[in-house]
Structures are given as structure tokens and as C-alpha cells.
Amino acid sequence: MIEVKDLSIGYSIPGNTPQIFTHSDDYDSSEIVLRGLSLKIESGKVYGLIGRNGVGKTTLLNCISGLIWKNSEKKVFIDGMPFSNGNPNLSSRIFYVTDTTPPIHVRVDKYARKLSMFYPLFSMDCFNECVELFGLNYKEYIDNLSLGQKKMAFLSFAFASNASHIILDEPTNGLDITSMRTLRKLIASNMTDDKTIIISTHHINEISSLLDHIIILNNKNAVFDHSVLEAGRVLSFVESDKETDKEKALYSMSSAYGNRMILPNTSGIDSEIDYELLYEAVLDDSNRINSLFK
Amino acid sequence: MIFKEKLSIYLQIAERISDEILAGAYSPGSRVPSVREYAVMIEVNLNTVMRSYDTLQSWGILEMKRGLGYFVADNAVQTILARRREAFISTQASEFFETARTLGVTPDELADMYKTFIRQK
Amino acid sequence: MKHNNTFRLNRFLGLIGTGIYKRKNSKTLTFTIWVGILFLFVLLNQLISNLEFDSARIVVTRVYQISYIVFLSVPVFRLTFNEQMSIQWNLLPASAFEKNLYSVLGMLIWRSLLFFIVVLGLDYLLWSGSPFIESMGMEMGQCRIRLTEFFTFGITDTIMPRWVSYVLVFFFYTSIPILAGISNNTSLHREYAFTYAWSAYIIFSTFINYCFKGGKEYEYLVIVFGCAGIIGLIYNIIFSITRSCNTKA
């Protein structure tokens, strides 16, 4: 479980390294990325983190992974314990696959063996399985791999680490259709009650079938933070060409067949979620959507 | 009029498994893939598939045997057909009839059309 | 508890091992050149064989010491986790203390081992049976330089026990690079700082050697720097644990 409590991050000098701010700090001259963000990320669930470019997804993930921290103020808690970089007991519970994977001059298999010394639950069997599924070459140097292959190598490391929190920043970038299916299968097969997977993505539809919970970031905070189950229960996603339906809608978007709309769910039957529509609706007026949830 | 409200994924999966049972992919009394196996196969969240299986269990289509897994109920086929018949009558049939009424098709014409259809099969 | 200790041991072994990987594009040529230079040192050893016995030994020892230092500092071999990987380095589950100390320690150990195997091995293979060995009163099969002499600039048994001298000089040798390495915020500059520190050290030690030629004043200087080294090392270890640092991610 990961908890983020009242997190504010900004740049005191634009372009410099991001820093965590507290209430006592002077905000005025700075560029705030996230303000007062609080999240509770529970075990046994797959979380989708979405938002437009630059909204702070990567910054948030960097913070959760311990790359940004402040000793005097603990804002991130892993399994209830305050987390900052340098606590191997806690950082071994996280495996973070960054958006851009580094060109390391080490062989894939050697790097896996290196990582296995730092992740106590690392499984070489799982690693081998992932490599086979992705069709990678064990003996290849990581910096010789293509963008997609590098991604796949790091995804293999992630699943093999058996870390209880796997964090993926734009994992689908650079992956072809087959690899994307492999990734989906790996996410599906690796989920257990004590594991958490957080996926930040632009391509929500690629992984929507795998999600338990959606977090949408906008305006320096999380404007939507609900489970997929609840969203399907509380909201109804319909497609209709009746103009009168549009008036009842919480939000609508034109489509080839008429209008895609969100209505309050009165039928009592869970609806399938149109993620693109939900995202646009939340960005448009998050309060209107959120008011329907408990 | 097109009014498409798609069912939640877990319900769609439940229907899909029902289709598979009707098609004979899983015969009554036989074991269906485990929740995890099925989730990996169709690349869907584990909890979602879990919900599907629970739903099918509550409908009497699947049975859970502790330690062994999920099995197709002996009268699953009948149960599915009964559910679908009811669904057909309450939604699709009434939509069809509404369209027919709007277009001015008489009940006799409908009966004739249906009889012809059956004869051809 | 037991699991924890295994985990700690694994981290130690994993970090020590980070000192060994070859840098990309480090041509075999560079390595060959380096071996060639060492070969020249060994040759130099032979050429000065007609000098007086004691001076010869001192010069030989100095030459090997300096080449050892050069080897430690030349970035032919780079740490696995270099600046391109600073994010991966920061994500690695180990404390800052463990990462900095063990990886630098690992590098020192690996390079030292490599140095001794190559240099002393070369020396033994090529020059066994030379008049120089005989003049030093050593038999075939013995190390050409006594390792005790290699590691000290001069031992003052009258001032302190021998082991204290060893400890002080060890810190003298190692404190500067560790100082330079740990004091940087990220591993970004560690390799370069290390190199610069060692280069300064080479120049300094050569200068000291020629000025004092192993006299008492020099030995006091060794002691002073040794203490400074210990203090610096402790300070940096504490600093690396407690500092608050953010990564440009």
C-alpha cells in the first residue's frame, strides 16, 4: 500500500530539480506542479494514472518511487512507513520502470543478476519467462536494444523483481501490438492480493481492461480518484442519436453514430466505461462528475 | 434510434462464458479455466474476471468446488437459455415490436414472417 | 532477522561488484596502451639496475606506487552506474552510505587485484633470473617488491607500532578518492572527481618524495595527512547518510 499525504512539489527555480514544499515554505516565486495531493493506493489493485502532458504524472511517480524527497517532511508512506530514498527495506518493495530507459552498457542477463542482489524476492524463472515472451536476446547489451526492446527488458526486470509495488511510466511507448499483448498478459498474470501496479499512460485504451482504479490528474491535483467498479455503477456511458438525451447528459461528445454521453446510472446495471469520454468530462467539470460518487 | 448502453466488462465476460457454454466449449459438469487463467487469456483484470465468475455463480451457471475450481453447473445450458429468453422478451423483443409498430407492420404480418423464417430453417 | 542479514550481504556483494564493468567504447587499444606503459615501468626497473642497491629499491617502489595510483584513477574501467544511469543508481534499493562506500571500495579492490596480478605477474615472468634480482638478494619466485614496502612511504617504528603506520597510510591512499567521490550529490561527477583527486595526489606524492626522500619530516607529513584522511572519510560517510538530496529526474 502506498499513501501520499498532502504533497506539494514545485520548482523553486524553473528548469531545476523539483522539490517538495511544505506549508512553511515560500511558494510565491515558484512553479508548483502538484499542490496538496493526497492519495491512497491499495494492494491487490491495478491503478491507471492519466492526465495530459506536463500535468505532473511523472513527477508524482518519481516522488512515490523515492527519487524526490525531503528528510524533514515525509509525504510518502509505503505500507504505513515513511519513505525516503535510502531505506532499502522500503525501496526494495518498489520497482519503477521510467519513461525513458537508460542506455546501460551491460548485458540483459547480467543486469538481471545484478538486480537480483537488491530485490530479495527476485525470480530468475520469472525473468526468463518474460524474456521468452517478449522475444528478447539475453546476451544483448541493453544500450544496443531498440527503444521498444529496452522497454521490454525493463518490464521483464520489473515483473521478475516481485516487488510488491510495480510502477510503470508510459509502459506502452515503443511497444508493438504483440508486445503490448504480452504486457497485458504479464500484468494479468502477475497480480496478487499483496501486489500493486501503477500505470501512467496516455493510451488508456491499451490497458483499460486491466484497471481496477482510475486517477486523473489535472490542475495540480487528482480530480478523479475512483474505482472502475464504482464508476460503472454510478455512471452510465451511452451512445445515442436522440438530441433530447443530450440535455440530460452530464457530458457529451459527438461521434460517428450520434453522441457519446455520460448520464447518471439509474438502470441498476453496471455500465462499461468509455475512458476517453470520462477523461474529457472530468477535465471539463470534475465536480459535476464527482458529486455522484459517495 | 440508436441507444447503446454497453454492459460493464465483467457482465460482458459473463455473457461470453455463457456463449461458450452454449457452444459446447465447456460441457456441463466440466471444469472451466481458473480465474487467473481466463484473465491472462483475455487480458483482463483479475478482479473483474473474479466478479464475472461470482456473477455466473449467483445465476446458477457455474459452481465453485473448494480447492478444485469452477465447474459448469449440470443444468447450466437450461439456465442460460431461460435467462436469455427473459432478456429477449423484456428488451430486444419490445424494441423490435416498437420499431415494427412505428413502421406500421401488423401482428399478422409478423406472425407470417416468423413462420416463413422457421420453415426455411 | 536472518532474511535481513542475507539481504544486507547481497547488497554488499552487489555493490562491490559494481566496480568492475568496462566502459562502452573503451577500446582494447586503450587497455593495451596502459599495459604497455606498465611494461615500460618494468623495463625501467631493469635499466636502473646498475644504481646503488638502496636507491634502486626506493625508485622501483616509487615507480610501482605511482603506476598503481595512475591505474586506480584512469577511467578505462568505469563503474556500472555512471551518469547516464544516475536515476537507476538512485532507485537501487540500498542506502546512500552503502552505495557510495561499497561501490568505491569495490572499485579499489578490483583494480588493485588486477594491478597486482598484471604488474607483478609481468614482472615475475619477464625478469626472473635477472642480475637485478640477484643484487637484491631475492630468490626466484619471490615477489620483486615486498608488499609491505609497496604500501608505505616509510615506517617509523620508533614513533608508533607498525600497524598504526599501516592504517594511517591506508587512509592516506584511500581518503582522497572517497572524499571526492562521496561529497558529490549524485554519481554524476563521481568518476571525474575521483580522477582529478587521484591526479592531484600523484603530483603531490611525487613532489613529497623528491623533497623529503623518506626523511623524518616526510613521515610526520604522512601521519598528518593520514589523520586528515580519517576525519574526512568519517565526515563524508556521515554526510552521505544525512544529507537531503533531490534527483533531477
What would the DSSP string read from start to end of B42-83?
A: HT--HHHHHHHHHHHHHTTSEEEETTTEEEE-TTHHHHHHHH
Handedness of CA A223, A181, A198, A58 (dihedral sign): negative
Residue among B5, B44, B48 whose CB faces A238 most closely? B5
CATH number of the CATH domain containing A108? 3.40.50.300
pLDDT averaged per 10 residues, chain A (length 294): 89 69 62 88 96 90 86 85 85 93 84 92 95 93 91 95 96 91 94 94 91 94 95 90 78 84 89 93 93 88
A and B: number of Cβ contacts within 8 A: 76
Cβ atoms of A265 and A233 within 8 Å: the answer is yes
- Predicted confidence band at C84 (pLDDT cuts at 50, 70, 90)? very low
Which pLDDT does position C6 carry in this prediction? 86
Q: Which chain A residue is nearest to residue B11, measuring alpha carbons?
A: A270
End of a domain among A190, A218, A246?
A218
Mark which residues 192-231 of C lie under 8 Å from A by CB: none
Which pLDDT does position C24 carry in this prediction? 45
Q: Which chain A residue is nearest to residue C17, measuring alpha carbons?
A: A114
Residue A137 forms contact with C (CB below 8 Å):
no
A and C: number of Cβ contacts within 8 A: 95
Q: Are residues A148 and A248 in the same domain?
A: no
Chain B interface disruption, residue of A179, A271, A274, A276, most B CBs within 10 A: A271
- Amino acid at position C41, single letter: F
Tell me: pLDDT of C77 over 80: no
Expressed as residue numbers, the domain containing A179 is 42-218
- Predicted confidence band at C204 (pLDDT cuts at 50, 70, 90)? low
Q: Are residues A96 and A232 in the same domain?
A: no
Q: Tell whether A10 is covered by a domain.
A: no
Q: Among residues C231, C219, C119, C233, which one has the least CA distance to residue C174?
A: C233
Tell me how close the Cα of B45 comes to any Cα of chain A, in angstroms: 4
Q: Residue holding cell 491472462?
A: B40
Cβ atoms of C210 and C55 within 8 Å: the answer is no
What dihedral do alpha carbons B15, B20, B23, B29 form, nearest 10°?
-110
Q: Which chain A residue is nearest to residue B3, measuring alpha carbons?
A: A240
| Distance of alpha carbon A174 from alpha carbon B90, whole angstroms | 47
Chain C interface disruption, residue of A65, A105, A119, most C CBs within 10 A: A105
| Distance of alpha carbon C47 from alpha carbon C56, whole angstroms | 10
Set of chain A residues whose Cβ sits within 8 Å of the Cβ of C90: 66-67, 85
Tell me how close the Cα of A91 comes to any Cα of chain C, in angstroms: 5
The architecture in CATH of the region B9-76 reads Orthogonal Bundle (1.10)
- Could B40 and A189 be called an inter-chain contact, meaning their C-beta atoms sit closer than 8 Å? yes
- Could B47 and A238 be called an inter-chain contact, meaning their C-beta atoms sit closer than 8 Å? no
Q: Residue holding cell 497480480?
A: A191
Contacts of C119 (CB under 8 A, 6+ apart): C38, C41, C42, C64, C67, C68
Total number of domains constituting chain A: 2
Q: Is B74 exposed, middle or buried (0-12, 13-18, 19+ CB in 10 A)?
A: exposed
Touching partners of B (3+ C-beta pairs < 8 Å): A
Cβ atoms of A88 and C7 within 8 Å: the answer is yes
Express each pLDDT in C92-141 by its tens digit. Answer: 898 877 776 676 667 667 666 766 666 666 555 555 544 444 444 444 33
Chain C interface disruption, residue of A118, A121, A122, most C CBs within 10 A: A118
- Predicted confidence band at C184 (pLDDT cuts at 50, 70, 90)? very low
> How many whole angstroms from its chain centre is CA C98?
19
Q: Are residues A213 and A243 in the same domain?
A: no
Tell me how close the Cα of A198 comes to any Cα of chain C, in angstroms: 16
Contacts of A256 (CB under 8 A, 6+ apart): none
Q: Answer whether B touches C (≥3 Cβ pairs < 8 Å).
A: no
- Could C91 and A114 be called an inter-chain contact, meaning their C-beta atoms sit closer than 8 Å? no
* Continuous H helices in chain A: 57-64, 88-91, 108-116, 124-134, 147-161, 177-190, 204-207, 228-234, 243-248, 275-284, 286-290
Which pLDDT does position C90 carry in this prediction? 81
Tell me how close the Cα of A151 comes to any Cα of chain C, in angstroms: 14
Coarse DSSP helix, strand, coil percentages of chain C, rounded to the nearest 5 percent: 75, 0, 25
Which pLDDT does position C124 carry in this prediction? 59
Q: Are residues A65 and A170 in the same domain?
A: yes
Residue C185 forms contact with A (CB below 8 Å):
no
Which pLDDT does position C145 carry in this prediction? 47
Helices A124-134 and A108-116 pack at an angle, to 10 degrees, of 150
Cβ atoms of A140 and A108 within 8 Å: the answer is yes
Which pLDDT does position C215 carry in this prediction? 55
Q: Are residues A127 and A233 in the same domain?
A: no
Q: Answer whether B touches A (≥3 Cβ pairs < 8 Å).
A: yes
DSSP A194: T
| Distance of alpha carbon A147 from alpha carbon A179, whole angstroms | 12
Residues of chain B with pLDDT under 50: 1
| Distance of alpha carbon A51 from alpha carbon A283, whole angstroms | 9
- Could A71 and C249 be called an inter-chain contact, meaning their C-beta atoms sit closer than 8 Å? no
- Could A189 and B39 be called an inter-chain contact, meaning their C-beta atoms sit closer than 8 Å? yes
Instruction: State the Rg of chain A over Cα.
Output: 20
Identify which has the larger pLDDT, C45 or A139.
A139
- Could C91 and A17 be called an inter-chain contact, meaning their C-beta atoms sit closer than 8 Å? no
Mean pLDDT of chain C: 57
Provide the phi-psi class of C222: left if phi over 0, else alpha when psi is between -120 and 50, else beta: alpha
Q: Which chain B residue is nearest to residue A232, measuring alpha carbons?
A: B8
- CATH 1.10.10.10 placement within chain B: 9-76
Q: Tell whether A24 is covered by a domain.
A: no
Residue among B8, B39, B45 whose CB faces A212 most closely? B45
Q: Answer whether C touches A (≥3 Cβ pairs < 8 Å).
A: yes
Joined together, the cell numbers standing for residue B104 give 406500421
DSSP A34: E
Set of chain B residues whose Cβ sits within 8 Å of the Cβ of A267: 5
Alpha-carbon distance values, A178 to A24, A135, A158, A184, A206 (Å): 50, 10, 19, 10, 12
Q: Domain B77-120 falls in which CATH fold?
A: Helix Hairpins (1.10.287)
End of a domain among A191, A218, A245?
A218
What dihedral do alpha carbons C186, C187, C191, C195 form, nearest 10°?
30
Chain A interface disruption, residue of B44, B47, B51, B52, most A CBs within 10 A: B47
Q: Which chain A residue is nearest to residue B47, measuring alpha carbons?
A: A212
Contacts of A105 (CB under 8 A, 6+ apart): A141, A142, A143, C21, C22, C23, C24
| Distance of alpha carbon C199 from alpha carbon C219, whole angstroms | 21
Q: How far apart are the first and last CA of chain A?
A: 22
Cβ atoms of A71 and A222 within 8 Å: the answer is no
Tell me how close the Cα of A65 comes to any Cα of chain C, in angstroms: 7
Cβ atoms of A81 and A107 within 8 Å: the answer is no
Which pLDDT does position A165 carry in this prediction? 96
Which pLDDT does position C49 carry in this prediction? 47
Identify which has the larger pLDDT, C211 or C184.
C211
Q: Are residues A197 and A283 in the same domain?
A: no
End of a domain among A161, A196, A218?
A218
| Distance of alpha carbon B79 from alpha carbon B74, whole angstroms | 10
Q: Are residues A103 and A177 in the same domain?
A: yes
